[in-house]
A = this chain, B = another copy of it.
Amino acid sequence: MVELKAEEIFKEFRQHSVAEFFKKNRQMLGYSGMTRSLVTIVHEYVTNSLDACEEAGILPDIEVRITEAGENRYRVMVSDNGPGIPKNYIGKVLATILAGTKFHRYMQQRGQQGIGGSGCTLFSQITTGKPIAATSMTGTGKGYTCTISLDTVHNKPVIGDYKELDGLKRGLTIEGEFAEIKYENSDHGVYEYLRRTALSNPHAQIKFTDPTGQEYAFLRAIEAMPLRPKAIKPHPLGLTVNDLIDFAQVSESRKLSSFMTDTFSRFSQDKVNEIAGIATSVNMGKAPKDITWDDAEALIKAFKSVKWIAPDATSVIPIGEEQVKIAMKNILNPEFMNVVERKPKVFRGGVPFIVEAAVAYGGNAGKKTDEGYEGNLLRFANRVPLLFDSGTCAITAASKNMDWKRYNIDIEAQPISIFVNVSSVYIPYSGVGKEAISQESEVVDEIKLAIMEAARGVQRYISGKLQVSHETSKYKTIIRYTEQLSKDLSDLTGEDREAIDRSLEKLVAKHYPKAYVGEEEEAIEKSEDTSGESDEGGEN
């Protein structure tokens, strides 16, 4: 074999745009498999709509319509009542990969990458050759409509058929035609995606028309906007050395000391003094731009050696215990549930996050199989349902690591659903398609603690139930003998048989009090339990 020289090998060297990369590797954006590809499209548009409405302070009204347009080919329309998109941004939002408002902001939102919307345009283009149509109305009488496609070589938008519109409607409507997709009514389909979106967004109203024309409405369960997440200053414990240098480079503060109090949260003048006393090699009067790696490393080391107030919880907005309860009741209507909202925690040293978990028992909880039940794990990140890549997800890992037996719970034999929502300014997704949370150990551990706490409440309920059924069966067995016994005693002694029977029954009931409940009492007990106090969750 002839050896080739490096020059010959490298003559074919080229550089490619990020749009070309994803055109070639569309499965990395979630476009793998026909059912999943359709869910990805709906997911990207609905997520953008929810974010836009919430950012504008509008209760979301979203409509999704899927119509067949050939074999494995559909038109997908998503419209919202949000603020719309200014005309000079529409091409960037829907046809420029890695452009957006959210990437650099330290604020909790569903989208964070500036990829999703443009990914849909790309997918429409490579499967049907057609552009996307968008109509944006501001609600003040003005708006426009146009088509959008993506020049993949340059990662730039191509706008066509632009037309100004009049009208008082408000919101964005996007419609596109896509091929190599399939509508399927399954656990991984669009209906289930929207159902779970409604579960985690009780303030949103979602209407859906499936390809057969069937209409569904997930009604708004709560008439209040979720708290608005604030863009916050980063917490000192969440910084890497590299982050600190990056912040310093763009800082307008005069000195390192004021740079730190200006840029980071929980950083008082006292803290500056404390840090200066530890990182003695660093000159705090230095201009931030002149920071060296060694300076930054010494500072980060010092940050980690002192005590800090926890990150500002107002930056992370969970769904909320009450809202989770209402939504779970609406959708699963369980016999019993326990909802837990944990305190804010940090990962990678300082990115704040909050885990909510619920374990529901009975009703429509659990997934029935031929042999019993499959534990129905409902995974969410910043209220967005995660339907795919379960195997790599931190939530799945945490649930699998649980010793469910310790909680008297047998996921395969009992009707159990487990709900987990992770909220954060930055969710460490494992892939560009954002279908799973990377298994950072702090995140997995915290999710596990949340599920354990939720499971404990359910354990008490199930144990009670088991004890009752155990006592009831003993009670019934013994009562069978008392009948015979009272008859024999009556024959022997001549005493009244019913009187003997009643006193025997009382005797037995005294020994098995749980089995001896009238039906009415039982019903009351049940309805009280259904409220599932999470406050109790921490005990036991």
Interface of A toward B, CB cutoff 8 Å: 1-7, 9-10, 12-18, 20-21, 24-25, 27-28, 32-33, 52, 55-58, 83-86, 89, 92, 96, 98-101, 103-105, 113-114, 125-130, 136, 138, 225, 228, 240-242, 245, 293, 296-297, 389-392, 396, 428-432, 436, 438-441
Partner of A7 from the list B12, B21, B86 (CB cut-off 8 Å) is B86
| Neighbouring B residues of A56 by C-beta, 8 Å | 3-6, 9
Partner of A21 from the list B12, B84, B113 (CB cut-off 8 Å) is B113
Query: Please, how many angstroms separate the alpha-carbon atoms of A228 and B58 in the complex?
Result: 61
| Neighbouring B residues of A430 by C-beta, 8 Å | 27-28, 32, 389, 431
Most buried by B among A9, A105, A240, A438: A9
| Neighbouring B residues of A431 by C-beta, 8 Å | 28, 430-432
CB-based contact B9/A55 at 8 Å? yes
CB-based contact A99/B15 at 8 Å? yes
| Neighbouring B residues of A391 by C-beta, 8 Å | 389-392, 396
Partner of A240 from the list B98, B114, B127 (CB cut-off 8 Å) is B127
| Neighbouring B residues of A436 by C-beta, 8 Å | 392
12 A-B pairs besides A3-B83, A9-B83, A389-B391 with CB distance below 8 A are A4-B83, A12-B101, A12-B105, A13-B100, A15-B114, A16-B98, A17-B98, A28-B429, A32-B438, A33-B439, A128-B293, A390-B391
Query: Please, how many angstroms separate the alpha-carbon atoms of A245 and B152 in the complex?
Result: 13
* Closest B residue, CB atoms, query A436: B392
Instruction: Give min CB distance, A304 to chain B, whole Å.
Output: 12
CB-based contact A225/B1 at 8 Å? yes
Instruction: Give min CB distance, A514 to chain B, whole Å.
Output: 38
* Closest B residue, CB atoms, query A98: B16
Most buried by B among A18, A33, A130: A18
CB-based contact B9/A52 at 8 Å? yes
| Neighbouring B residues of A57 by C-beta, 8 Å | 1-4
CB-based contact A5/B83 at 8 Å? yes
Query: Please, how many angstroms separate the alpha-carbon atoms of A428 and B392 in the complex?
Result: 17
CB-based contact A428/B27 at 8 Å? yes
Partner of A10 from the list B10, B85, B241 (CB cut-off 8 Å) is B85
| Neighbouring B residues of A86 by C-beta, 8 Å | 6-7, 10
CB-based contact B105/A28 at 8 Å? no
| Neighbouring B residues of A245 by C-beta, 8 Å | 129
Partner of A96 from the list B15, B25, B83, B128 (CB cut-off 8 Å) is B15
CB-based contact A429/B33 at 8 Å? no
CB-based contact B138/A14 at 8 Å? no
* Closest B residue, CB atoms, query A96: B15
| Neighbouring B residues of A55 by C-beta, 8 Å | 4, 9
CB-based contact A129/B242 at 8 Å? yes
CB-based contact B138/A16 at 8 Å? no
CB-based contact B18/A18 at 8 Å? yes
* Closest B residue, CB atoms, query A179: B241
Query: Please, how many angstroms separate the alpha-carbon atoms of A21 and B118 in the complex?
Result: 15
Task: Knowing A392-B392, A440-B32, say if A84 contacts B6 (CB, 8 Å).
Answer: yes
| Neighbouring B residues of A84 by C-beta, 8 Å | 6
CB-based contact B15/A240 at 8 Å? no
Instruction: Give min CB distance, A13 to chain B, whole Å.
Output: 5
| Neighbouring B residues of A138 by C-beta, 8 Å | 5-6
Task: Knowing A27-B430, A430-B431, A439-B32, say if A58 contacts B3 (CB, 8 Å).
Answer: yes
Instruction: Give min CB distance, A212 to chain B, whole Å.
Output: 25
| Neighbouring B residues of A242 by C-beta, 8 Å | 125-127, 129
Instruction: Give min CB distance, A428 to chain B, whole Å.
Output: 5
Most buried by B among A92, A431, A438, A439: A431
Query: Please, how many angstroms separate the alpha-carbon atoms of A96 and B17 in the complex?
Result: 11
Instruction: Give min CB distance, A247 to chain B, whole Å.
Output: 13
Q: List the 6 closest pairs (A to B, CB-CB), nearest first.
A: A391-B391, A129-B293, A15-B99, A126-B242, A1-B57, A6-B83
Query: Please, how many angstroms separate the alpha-carbon atoms of A368 and B309 in the complex?
Result: 47
Task: Knowing A9-B52, A392-B392, A431-B28, say if A228 contacts B440 (CB, 8 Å).
Answer: no
| Neighbouring B residues of A440 by C-beta, 8 Å | 27, 32-33
Instruction: Give min CB distance, A40 to chain B, whole Å.
Output: 13
| Neighbouring B residues of A15 by C-beta, 8 Å | 92, 96, 98-99, 114
CB-based contact A98/B32 at 8 Å? no
CB-based contact B98/A21 at 8 Å? yes
* Closest B residue, CB atoms, query A18: B18
Query: Please, how many angstroms separate the alpha-carbon atoms of A25 and B440 in the complex?
Result: 13
Instruction: Give min CB distance, A321 to chain B, whole Å.
Output: 22
| Neighbouring B residues of A129 by C-beta, 8 Å | 241-242, 245, 293, 296-297
CB-based contact B99/A438 at 8 Å? no
Query: Please, how many angstroms separate the alpha-carbon atoms of A432 and B17 in the complex?
Result: 15
Instruction: Give min CB distance, A248 to chain B, whole Å.
Output: 12
Most buried by B among A27, A128, A396: A27
Partner of A98 from the list B5, B18, B136, B396 (CB cut-off 8 Å) is B18
